[in-house]
Amino acid sequence: MNADPYRPTDAATPLTLALSKGRIFDETLPLLAAAGVGVPEKPNASRKLILPTDNPALRLLIVRASDVPTYVQYGAADFGIAGHDVLYEHVAEHPGGLYQPIDLNIARCRLCVATPKGFDYQAAVRQGSRLRIATKYVRSAREHFAGKGVHVDIIKLYGSMELAPLVGLADAIVDLVSSGNTLRANRLVEVEEIRPVSARLIVNQAALKMRGAALQPYLDAFARASADMDGNGGGGPLISDRP
């Protein structure tokens, strides 16, 4: 452990980009290609957690999606790619150090409320029923229902939210949806969209000051390449984590 946990990697270490495998990794590859970088190994095939690129000055750190902001905030990665869903929850719990994310317009989906097929959500809301909501997006869920004046008990889960209503743990879930196949397979229906979601680029602030010259070409290339992708990203600006 470094004496100063906020110290970024130094000039001798390659620039380090933290991201998760799966959809975010797959959709980041074209952005890296636009910056002239190829990735010879895939995270699943190699099982490596630090993946080299064909540019010795840039390496990838493969971490859990919800851990990306933490690696970047503490300077263990110079920059990272994480969904608006993850960042929105992270800044509420870890104020300071992460700001000005760039919307990359990738890994797009939507955060929504879903219930079992037979459950009359609108009637429950109208009648002022207290709802049990299972989710890993505690802040988003709390704010959404508070905004509607609906009383809820939030049950925090870490995965497979779709299961909760099927076994009586919750009336509804707040989760990400893209195709809707997972909901359908579990006889759930989307009853309300909370917000669209897309992935963002976040940068460690000390790294931006000390390694700005090395970082800037990537920030520019990613911004250019993602602007070429159609539509507006999701989620809107993050509520600032600074006073």
- The binding site for ligand ADP (CB under 6 A) comprises 20, 22-24, 64-66, 83, 85-86, 107, 109, 176-178, 197, 199
- Cβ distance to ligand ADP smaller for residue 15 or 86: 86
Q: Which helix (H) or strand (E) holds 210?
A: helix 205-210
Order of strands across the sheet with 188-197?
152-156, 131-135, 172-177, 109-116, 188-197
Closest CA to 141 of 171, 100, 183: 171
Q: What residues pair up with 60 in beta bridges, in sequence order?
A: 17, 51
In the complex, least distance from residue 210 CB atom to ligand ADP, rounded to whole angstroms: 29
Name the H helices within 9-83.
23-34, 43-46, 68-73
- 163/206 with CB nearer ligand ADP: 163
Report the nearest approach of ligand ADP to the CB of residue 62 (Å). Answer: 11
Cβ neighbourhood burial of 185 (10 Å; 0-12, 13-18, 19+):
exposed
Cβ distance to ligand ADP smaller for residue 88 or 145: 88
Give the residue carrying structure tokens 């997972």: 182
Closest approach, Cβ 23 to ligand ADP, in A, equals 5
Query: Closest separation between CB of residue 178 and ligand ADP, Å?
Result: 4
150 or 229: CB nearest ligand ADP: 229
| Residue 176 beta carbon to ligand ADP: minimum distance, rounded to whole angstroms | 4
201 φ/ψ angles, rounded to the nearest 5 degrees: -95, 125
Taken as a whole, the chain contains a residue count of 243
As a 3-state breakdown, the chain gives helix, strand, coil percent values, each rounded to 5, of 35, 25, 40
Select 65 or 76, whichever has its Cβ closest to ligand ADP. Answer: 65
Give residue number: closest CB to ligand ADP: 83
Q: Which is nearer to ligand ADP, 9 or 73 (CB)?
A: 73
Task: Tell me the closest approach of the beta carbon of residue 218 to ligand ADP, in angstroms.
Answer: 20
